[in-house]
Chain A
Amino acid sequence: MADLSINFAGIKSPNPFWLASAPPANSGDQVHRAFEAGWGGAVWKTIGGPVLNVSNRYGAWHSGAQRMLAINNIELISDRPLEINLREIRDVKRNWPGRAVIVSAMVESKPAAWRTIVRQIEDTGADGIELNYGCPHGMSERGMGAAVGQVPEYCQQITAWVKEVSQLPVIVKLTPNVTNIVLPARAALAGGADALSLINTVNSIIGIDLDTLELSPSVGGKGGHGGYAGPAIKPIALNLLAALATDPELAKSNLPVSGMGGIATWRDAAEFLLLGATSLQVCTTVMHYGFRVVEDLIDGLSNWMNEKGFRTIADFQGRSVPRLSDFGNFDLSFRVVARIDQARCIKCNLCYVACHDTAHQCIDLITAHPEHRPHPQVREADCVGCRLCYNVCPVEKCIEMVEVPSGRAPLTWAQLAQAEPAVAEDWEAMKKYRDRHGIHIH
Chain B
Amino acid sequence: MNGLTEALPPLSGHEALVEANRCLFCYDAPCTQACPTHIDIPRFIKKISTGNLTGSARTIFDANLLGATCARVCPVQELCEGACVLGSEHKPIAIGRLQRHTMDHAYSHGAAMPTVGAPTGFHVGVVGAGPAGLSCAGELARRGHAVTVYEKRDLGGGLSTYGIIALREPVGVALAEVEMIRNLGVRVLSGVEFGRDVTLDSLIGDHSAVFLSLGLGRTPDLGIRGEEHLVDGLEFIEQSKTSPAGPHVGRDVLVIGAGNTAIDCATIAKRLGAARVTILYRRTANEMTAYTHEYRFIQNEGVRFEFLTQPVEAIIDEGRLTGLRCRRMQRTGRGLPEPVSGSDFTLPADQIVKAIGQQKPPAFRGLETDRGYLRINDEMETSLAGVYAGGDCVRARGSASTVMAVQDGKRAAAAIHKALTGLIS
Interface residues of A (CB under 8 A from B): 64-65, 346-350, 352-353, 365, 373-374, 394
Contacts and interface: CB of A to CB of B under 8 A. Distances in A.
A350 B24 contact: yes
Interface string B6-21: 0000000010011001
Contacts, number: 31
Interface of B: 14, 17-18, 21, 24-28, 30, 49, 85-86, 88-89
A356 to B, nearest CB: 9
A350 B27 contact: yes
Q: Name the 10 nearest CB pairs between A and B, nearest first.
A: A64-B21, A353-B27, A349-B27, A346-B85, A65-B18, A348-B26, A348-B24, A65-B21, A348-B85, A394-B24
B293 to A, nearest CB: 22
Contacts of A365: 28
A346 B24 CA distance: 11
A208 to B, nearest CB: 14
Q: Interface residues of A: mostly helix, strand, loop or mixed?
A: loop
A350 B25 contact: yes
A350 B26 contact: yes
Given A64-B17, A64-B49, A65-B21, A352 B27 contact: yes
Nearest to B23: A348
Contacts of A64: 17, 21, 49
27 contacts: A64-B17, A64-B21, A64-B49, A65-B14, A65-B17, A65-B18, A65-B21, A346-B85, A346-B86, A346-B88, A346-B89, A347-B26, A347-B30, A348-B24, A348-B26, A348-B27, A348-B85, A349-B26, A349-B27, A349-B28, A350-B24, A350-B26, A352-B27, A353-B27, A365-B28, A374-B28, A394-B24
Nearest to B22: A65
Given A65-B14, A347-B26, A348-B24, 7 more contacts: A347-B85, A348-B26, A352-B27, A353-B27, A365-B28, A373-B30, A374-B28
Nearest to A349: B27
A397 B3 CA distance: 47
Contacts of B25: 350
A365 B28 CA distance: 11
Contacts of B18: 65
A348 B49 CA distance: 18
B209 to A, nearest CB: 35
A136 B17 CA distance: 33
A399 B197 CA distance: 66
A433 B197 CA distance: 86
A352 B26 CA distance: 10
Contacts of B86: 346
A197 to B, nearest CB: 35
A349 B24 CA distance: 10
Contacts of A347: 26, 30, 85
Nearest to B33: A373
Contacts of B85: 346-348
Contacts of B30: 347, 373
A373 B87 CA distance: 14
